[in-house]
Each structure stands twice: as structure tokens, then as C-alpha cells.
A and B are shown apart, each in its own frame.
Chain A
Amino acid sequence: MKRELTISCSKTNLLRIRQFVKDVLGDLDIHELEAHKMVLAVDEVCANLIIHSNQCDPSHQIDISIDHPDKEKIIFIIKDQGITFNYNSYVEPDLTDIVSSKRKGGVGLMLVKRIMDKVEFSHDKNCNICRLTKKIDS
């Protein structure tokens, strides 16, 4: 089972992305609280790609696919062709530093890493690929 959505890089499309993920996870009978967190993780990655990698340019697109290859895991793949995010150089910030600096950003990827079991970023030709794996209790 694989479901896909292609959508333009506009922040207002985050709602549609969340609805897509929610619908797919609903069809898979994933518990609501778990599904909510997975929806959040995909939303965070897509928000970063839309805002930082594609500067909210609606002529750019992102592709989201959700695959449930076996009972034990769900794989989310998010592709775009914007500026490549260098995950290897990402250092998770300290929450107390974010608080003292009064920053509004900086916790999105922290959420993704804590929700998902595996977070991978790669690059193929002109395409950036983010792959999120979540183990599920069968």
C-alpha cells in the first residue's frame, strides 16, 4: 500500500498535507495519539521544506508518499527540489538556549527526531529526499 500527494510550496497547504497523512493513518487504524504525532512530524518537515528550502514559492512542489511495507513500520518519504538541507551538520539545539535567546524557531526538527524512529536526509540528482520511519505495534 502506497499513497502519494504532490502539492505546491505554500504554507496554507500544510493543512491539506496534515489531512492527507491523517486520512492514510486512519485507514491503517493507527491509534489517534500516535497518528497525531506522525502527522506533526510530517508537517514539521514539510513546513521546513516549504519555508526554508523553497521560500514559499508556489511554483515549487513537494511530493509526499506514505508506505506501509509490513505490519511493523510506516515509511514517509518527502521529496523536493529546493535548497538542500545538510542534516549531517545539524546539531540539536539546547532548549534552554532557545528559551534564553527568545527564538520562535528551532524546535521543529527536535520534534521530528523524538517522534520518528529513524530520520534520514539524502540527495539524488536534483532531488532532496527525507525519509522518516516509524515502528508501529502490531
Chain B
Amino acid sequence: MIEVKKLQRADHTEIQVKGEVDASSSIELDNALQSSLDESKKIIVDLENLEYISSAGLGVFISYLEEIKSKEIKLVLCNMKPKVYDVFKILGLENLMEIVNTKEEAEQALNEA
């Protein structure tokens, strides 16, 4: 249903999320994101294989926005399918989070000031 992988890249952490994030599975995303925030200042979340996200998954991202800001962590989401991006847009989260189209753009964004 959900598969979350955490990969250590040369200068950042990459989280890959596959499947569907809902109230029964959001804990796995939460664990991966929490541990990445403890370890890294630069994080890419690759959502290429994410088919579905509900409020439980959005809530995970929302709950760390303050920490990201206070610890000056760069977190970039990329590769969202249009149907997934639509869900972020319903709440206007694209204005609160950095969301780009491709992983290349995400890597560039990490290195911007």
C-alpha cells in the first residue's frame, strides 16, 4: 500500500514515496520525514510513484513546516502527479511548501540560498 525509502545522497537526503498515503499508512511517511529532519538540512521528497494522499499525509507535511522554518531546513517536493498536486492545491499548500516538477529542479532548489 505504501513504500517509503530513505536514501542518503552526496549532499542531501532523498525520500521516495510509493503507493497511497492515508490514515492507515501516514505513520510511515511521518517516521521517514522526522528522522530525515533530525539528520539533514537538505531533503528532497520524490513523489513520482505516489498515487494518492489524504489529509493524514498532508498533515504530516504541515506538522513539520514550523520545524523546517526554525531549523532553516530546505525541503523540496518533486515529481507529483497532477491528481496529487491537485490535493495540495485545494488547501493552498503550494504557497507554504516548495514544490517543483522534476528532481533536477529540486536539486537546483536545494542549492539556492
Please count how many residues in chain B sit with their CB below 8 Å of the partner chain's CB atoms: 28
Please count how many residues in chain A sit with their CB below 8 Å of the partner chain's CB atoms: 31
Closest to B93 in A: A95
- The stretch among B5-13, B35-43, B79-87, B104-112 that forms the contact with chain A is B79-87
Query: Contact: B87 with A99, CB < 8 Å?
Result: no
With contact pairs A14-B22, A33-B86, A47-B54 given, residues A99 and B60 touching in the complex (Cβ less than 8 Å): no
Query: Contact: A18 with B23, CB < 8 Å?
Result: no
Query: Contact: B92 with A95, CB < 8 Å?
Result: yes
Query: Contact: A12 with B62, CB < 8 Å?
Result: no
Number of A-B contacts (CB under 8 A): 87
Instruction: Please indicate the chain A residues that have their CB under 8 angstroms from the CB of B82 in the complex.
Output: 33
How many Å lie between the Cα of A104 and that of B30 in the bound state?
10
- The stretch among A73-81, A105-113, A119-127 that forms the contact with chain B is A105-113
Q: How far is the CB of B49 from chain A (nearest CB, A)?
A: 16
Interface assignment of A131: CB less than 8 Å from any CB of chain B: no
Query: Contact: B91 with A102, CB < 8 Å?
Result: no
The answer, among B1, B62, B66, for a CB contact under 8 Å with A104, is B62
Interface assignment of A135: CB less than 8 Å from any CB of chain B: no
Q: List 19 A-B contacts (CB under 8 A).
A: A18-B52, A33-B83, A36-B52, A36-B87, A37-B87, A40-B52, A40-B54, A40-B87, A47-B56, A95-B92, A99-B66, A100-B66, A104-B59, A105-B56, A106-B59, A107-B91, A110-B91, A114-B91, A115-B90
Which residues of chain A have a CB within 8 Å of any CB of chain B? 11-12, 14-15, 18, 32-33, 36-37, 39-40, 43-44, 47, 50-51, 95, 98-100, 102-108, 110-111, 114-115
